[in-house]
Chains A and B, each alone.
Chain A
Amino acid sequence: MSTVATRTRQVVRRPARRAAWTGRAMLVPAVFAVVVIAVYPLVFSVAASLSDSSLGQQFTDWVGGANYAALFTDGVTLPSLVRSVVFALASAILALVGGSVVALCLDVSVRSGRVLRVLLLLPLMTPPVMAAVVWRLMLAPTGGLFNNVIQTISPGAEPFLFLGSSPAAMISVIAVDAWQWAPFCALLVFAALQTLPSEVYEAAQVDGAGTLQVFRRITFPLLLPSLLTALLLKVVLSFKVFDLVFVMTGGGPGFDTTVSSYDIYRSGFQSFDIGMAAAQTIVFLVLVTIVIVPLNAVRQRAQKGAS
C-alpha cells in the first residue's frame, strides 16, 4: 500500500515540477522584456544621475547627489517642473471638457454623424510636428491668420504676440495640445456613452426630467469613471509633451514654455550633460508619480462606486 502511495506521489510530483519549470520558462520573454524596457533604463538613469557624464564620456566620475543639488538651485529645473504640472492638468482638463462636449453632440446625432466623426479625428491623426508647424504659422505676429484677422477688424493695431509674450505663449501651447487631443477624449467618452443603460433614461423621461437634470443626475455620474480614466491617460500624455514646445516656442519666450521634457532634452542634447539630464528625469518621474497615483486612486474609487 505504502509503495503504491509513494509511486503515486512521485507520479504526481513529476508533472507538478515540470509544470512549475514550464511556467517559469514561459515567463522568460516577459521578464526579459521588462528588464530591457523598464529596469535597465531606470537603473542606468539612476546611475547616470549620480555621475559626471557627458554625451561623449559617460560615468567619468561619481558625484553623489551633486547633480540633484545643482538642479534644485539652477533656477530652471524647478520652474519647469511646475510648468509641466500646470501644462498637464490644464491641457488634460481642456481636452477632456472639449472632447466630452463633442462626444455628447455625437451621441445625439449618432446616426448622421459618421462623416463628422471622421473629420473630428483629423487633429488626432495629424503628426504633432506638423500640427505645431501649422499652428506656429497661424499664430505668427506678421502674416499669421489670427493677426491678419485682428488687422482686418482693427487696421493698424499692434500684432498680438501669441507665442512671444507671457502668459499667451503657454496658453497657446496648452490650447493647441488640447485641440489635438480632444478627439481622443471624445472617442473614449463617446464609447462610454454607448454603454449607458437606456432604461434609466426612459424612466427619467417618464418622470419628466429635463435635459440638464438628466445630464447632472444620470449621465455625468454614470460617465464619471470613464471621464476619470480618460483624464488619467491624457494627463500622462500631457506630461510627455515635447514636439509642440520644440517646434512652436523652443521653450520660450525666455523659459515660459520650458516644461520638464524640453528641459531634459536641453540638458542631454544641447548641453550634453547626461548626468544632469538623468537627475532631472528621476525627479520628473517622482513628480509624475505624485500626480498620477492619487488621480488613479480617485478613478478606482469612482469605478467601484459605479459598479
Chain B
Amino acid sequence: MTVQRSRSSYRVVAASAVTAGIIVVAGCSGTPAEDEGAGTLSVLIAAPQEGAGKILEEEFEKAHDVEVEVEVVPYDQIQSKVTLDVQSGTSAYDVIQYWYPTVGALAEAGALADITDWVAGDEDIDQADFIDAVYQPYTQYDGKTYGLPIDGDTHVLFYNTEIFERNGVEPPATWDEYVDVARTITENESGDGVYGTALLGSKSAFNIGSSFFNRLATMSSDPIDSAMPQLDSDVAVEAAQAMLDVSEYALPSPLEIGFEQALPQFLAGKVGMMEFWTDLGVFAQDPEQSQIVDGWGVVPLPLGPEGSVSGALNAGWAMGISPNAADEDLAKQFVAFASSADTNEMLITTTGSGIDPTRTSTLESEDYAELVPEVAEVNEQVLPNAQSWPTSPAAPEMIQVLGDNLALMLQGNLSAEEAVSDTWDTWQPLAE
C-alpha cells in the first residue's frame, strides 16, 4: 500500500512538473520560426484603406513572386499595434501604413525605419513629383524620412444642388455665409428631416479634429505650425467659434456625428452641405449607394477674412518599413510600388479605393479629371496648399486633448475661448 501510494505520488509529482514545464514552454514560444516569413510580406493597413490594401496586395503579387498578407486594423489602433509589435520583438509586420500625425511618435518609439538614404538615392521614387504640402508632413521627422505618402486626404465642401435650389442659396464662400446657409436650410426643412449641414463633431480625431483644422487652415493667414499649431491666436478661437455657431443648425447631434453617420445622410439627400474627403464625389455618383447622383456640387472650403483657398490634411496615410522587417529589400519594393505615380493614378481612378492624389502628376491626371471632373478641379486648387496637423511625438496626445476640449465646447460646458486656451495650456508641457 505504501509502495503504491509512493509510486502514485511520484507520478503526480512528475505530472505536475511536466504541466508546469508545458506552461513555461508555451508561454515562451511566442516568436515565430525564422524561416516562416520567407517569400511573404506582411502589411499592416488601416481599416478605412482596406479597399486600397486589397488592390495593392493583388497588383504586387501579380508583379512579384511573393505572397502579400494584408492585416486590416481599426485606424486608431495602428500606432499601438505597431509599437507593441516592435517592443515585444514579435516583428509581425514588414510594411506599416500609418496616419501621418503619428510619424513623430512612431519614429521616436523606433517603430519606423529611417529610409532617408534610400529615398534620396533611388531615382525611381521621383521624390520631386510628390506634392510638397503632402510629402513634408507625411514623411519627415527630425530631418529624416520615415515613409512615403499613399493618400493625400483633404476636405472640400460638397453640397446638394436640389436642396440649395429649393432654398434659394448659393455655395458659401466664407464661414459666416456657411452658417447663414445652414440656418436657412435647417429652419426651412428640418421638419422634413433635412438639415443645412452635417458637422463632424464626434470625439474621434478624424471627425472633430478635421472640423477644427478645416477652419483654422482657411481662416489663418499663416500656415499651421505642425510642431505646435498656433492655438494662442485669435484665429484659433474664431475657428472653434465657427464650429459652435453652426452646430445648432447641423444634423443632430454633432457630438454623435462622425463620417460614418454623415456620409449616408448626405447620400440620402438629407443634408444640404458637408465638409468631407474628396472621394465622396465617387460615392455620390454611385447609384447603388447614392440618391443624389448628378445632384451635387463641390467647392473649396469657405474662407475666413484673412484666409486663402486651402484645407487641412485630414486623415492622410503614408507607408513605412518596420526596422525588423524580415526582408527589407522586399519591403522597400512594396513601399516604392504603393507610392509610385502609376499606382497612385490607378488607385485614384478606381471606385472604392478611398485614395486621393499624392503627386503633382496624378493630381493633374487626365483620367482622374475625366472620372470626377468637379472634384479634380477643386482638388487641384486645394491639395497643393493643404496644411498639416501636428506631427511631433506628442501629436497623438495633443490631438486627443484638442478633441476633448472641442467636444466639451459643443456640449456647452466650455466657451470657444476656454476650449482653445485650455488646450494650449495642456499642450505646453507636452511640447517639452
Please list the residues of chain A having a beta carbon within 8 angstroms of any beta carbon in chain B: 15, 18-19, 21-22, 25-26, 28-29, 32-33, 36, 54-58, 76, 140-143, 155-156, 158-159, 161, 163-166, 250-256, 266, 269-273
Contact = CB atoms under 8 A, between A and B. Distances in A.
Listed from nearest, the 5 A-B pairs whose CB atoms lie closest are A56-B109, A164-B253, A254-B411, A253-B255, A141-B252
Contacts of A21: 13
Given A19-B9, A255-B404, A26 B396 contact: no
Given A164-B252, A251-B203, A254-B408, A26 B83 contact: no
Given A33-B23, A56-B109, A254-B408, 13 more contacts: A25-B13, A28-B17, A55-B84, A55-B87, A56-B83, A140-B261, A141-B256, A142-B251, A142-B270, A252-B407, A253-B407, A253-B410, A256-B411
A2 B252 CA distance: 96
Interface stretch (B73-81, B124-132, B329-337, B363-371): B73-81
Interface residues of B, number: 48
Contacts of A158: 252
A76 to B, nearest CB: 8
A165 B253 contact: yes
A25 B16 contact: yes
B83 A32 contact: no
B193 A15 contact: no
Contacts of B222: none
A18 B12 CA distance: 12
A22 B83 contact: no
B400 interface: yes
B353 to A, nearest CB: 26
A166 B412 CA distance: 11
Contact of B204 (A25, A36, A164, A250): A250
Q: Is the interface of B mostly helix, strand, loop or mixed?
A: helix
Contacts of B253: 141, 161, 164-165, 253
Interface of B: 2, 5-6, 9, 12-13, 16-17, 19-20, 23-24, 27, 76-77, 79-80, 83-84, 86-87, 105, 108-111, 191, 193, 202-204, 251-253, 255-256, 261, 265, 270, 396-397, 400, 404, 407-408, 410-411, 413
13 contacts: A15-B6, A22-B12, A32-B23, A36-B23, A55-B83, A56-B86, A58-B87, A142-B193, A161-B256, A251-B203, A272-B83, A272-B397, A273-B397
Contacts of B397: 270-273
A220 to B, nearest CB: 41
Given A25-B16, A54-B109, A252-B203, A269 B252 contact: no
A56 B76 CA distance: 16
A141 B198 CA distance: 13
Nearest to A31: B20
Contacts of B80: 55, 269, 272
Contacts of A266: 400
B111 A56 contact: yes
A271 B396 contact: yes
Nearest to B208: A252
Nearest to A160: B252
A253 B254 CA distance: 10
Nearest to B102: A272
Given A252-B407, A254-B407, A272 B105 contact: yes
Nearest to B6: A18
Given A28-B16, A29-B23, A252-B203, A57 B109 contact: yes
Nearest to B271: A142
* Most-contacted residue by chain A among B202, B252, B256 (CB, 10 A): B256
A26 B13 contact: yes
A253 B411 contact: yes
